[in-house]
Structure 1
């Protein structure tokens, strides 16, 4: 049974805590919940305190109405993570995010470098760079980003009319091996179908306030001060961008790896994820941190 912990503004987040040792916080992606970490968490719990949380608006966490642009801003969601860490007595921790959770993790790393000792991001492109690399026919791979970027109303109606088909489309399309999701597919469909407005609001924020925050950081020259590990598919080949360089602009201390396991790498190749998390966690414990890794 998940523990409900109050986030930054009274929003309750569903959290699972296992293991003991150096803390690792796990943030899920789309269209998933904290259950995506079941294999990774079981391995890491051997020597880490593992915290897996549902993001606000997803799974068993509260889904507040988006009354302002800030409600689902990644800056706000990063504050949720810190509130959970505070409630659990975690001062510094390795933060791991997949997809949407990785965008929250990046924002937490930029805004709160003293709390995040190491950062791991799975199969995602930073918000600012996502919109920069999508162009022409290749942008069709991310049609859902454009749909959910539209003003409130139409996206919610369209997706709400056939939520299982909409979310199921991505589960099937992005799964390298659909059998790896067989035990959780129905859970993901039910959980996502129940959260259409908040999921859309999360994506809409990335075309608005999140983009504004990233643009301001880039102009100010802000980067991630902690060691960063990235594990992703070879999006560079499809989108015509050097993803190691894209991430390197944000992360001076970077370990960039490619995977052939598909988008749902934590469920289809958990050993790859665990290996990177352990590597980044070790680097994050060094004082001072290393100046360059795997560049």
Structure 2
């Protein structure tokens, strides 16, 4: 548990219940975790922000201790559906408007929430992703091997789930180990909790990724063609993948977010755990804009 936080289950749309940790008092901020993690990834950042904010840390649908509905159609794990979960959760906790920060998968949900619910999201932060449509555009050739898991989980239902379930700890553990810039940032107990949660959620995790190769692209493309952009202040913190892979990350983000602060970090992918003070500062700076 995050010290000082209380945990509960809150039912959102379609009867899906999210597990959520809540702490602090003040203007609300919702923190969304990434892959292959749970809300615990925010334990350091959340504790700091709770000094003067109400901090809401859910497990996304399909992850952690939240419900894992069967993917009966592509929309079950679309980022549009998951974003609606977040807005419904905040409202159930008494907050019509809130700041929103996401890491990895959670950042994609935050991005969609900002586009779909601009009246609810006051500020938006994204850690270490590109918007889905841009992500697929920049991956090409041998460089795309770094994102092999995106292609694996984009395949039709059946084979990816069986392959991953057959060696779940090795699969999910490879990302926890390979993406970390600091091997001490995720203690053994937290790592074990992430593996336990991921092992129990293979079908829903794959469905989340599969949606990002299908319906999420359709939603992003429709918004791009309609000229929709994020209207709130946006902060993006990323590793310098643009320099490594040959694209302008800040430029791609600016096309979606006119009021943008874009930062690169020397921390690894799990930056909220590796460099929490840096992420807290970025979020606090965002909340003053």
TM over 0.5: yes
Residues 1:5 and 2:17 are matched in the alignment? no
Is the 8 Å Cα contact of residues 175 and 262 (structure 1) preserved in structure 2? yes
Q: Could you give the per-residue CA deviations for residues 110-165 of structure 1, whole angstroms, max 9, x where no partner exists? A: 00000000000001111000000000111000000000000001100100100000
Partner of 1:218: 224
1:2 positional shift = 2.1
1:193, 1:270 → 2: CA distance? 26
1:60, 1:208 → 2: CA distance? 26
2:171, 2:31 → 1: CA distance? 25
Runs of 4+ in 1 over 3 A off after TM superposition: none
Residues 1:178 and 2:186 are matched in the alignment? no
1:45, 1:26 → 2: CA distance? 12
The partner residue of 1:74 within 65, 79, 102 is: 79
Partner of 2:206: 200
Partner of 1:113: 118
Partner of 1:160: 165
Partner of 2:236: 230
Partner of 2:267: 261
**Secondary structure at the counterpart of residue 151 of structure 1:** coil
Residues 1:93 and 2:98 are matched in the alignment? yes
Partner of 2:3: none
1:150, 1:239 → 2: CA distance? 24
Q: Could you give the per-residue CA deviations for residues 157-204 of structure 1, whole angstroms, max 9, x where no partner exists? A: 100100000000000000111111024110001100100000000000
**Secondary structure at the counterpart of residue 14 of structure 2:** coil
Q: Could you give the per-residue CA deviations for residues 26-84 of structure 1, whole angstroms, max 9, x where no partner exists? A: 00000000000000001000000000000000000000000001100000000100111
Q: How does 1:31-110 map to 2 (within 5 A)?
A: 31-110=36-115
Structure 2, unaligned runs of 5 or more: 1-5
The partner residue of 2:279 within 256, 273, 280 is: 273
Q: How does 1:106-145 map to 2 (within 5 A)?
A: 106-145=111-150
1:98 positional shift = 0.2
Q: How does 1:243-258 map to 2 (within 5 A)?
A: 243-258=249-264
Q: Could you give the per-residue CA deviations for residues 233-266 of structure 1, whole angstroms, max 9, x where no partner exists? A: 0010122100000100110000000011110000
1:41, 1:191 → 2: CA distance? 20
**Secondary structure at the counterpart of residue 62 of structure 1:** coil
2:169, 2:7 → 1: CA distance? 24
Is the 8 Å Cα contact of residues 138 and 238 (structure 1) preserved in structure 2? no
Count residues with an aligned counterpart. 283
2:99, 2:7 → 1: CA distance? 21
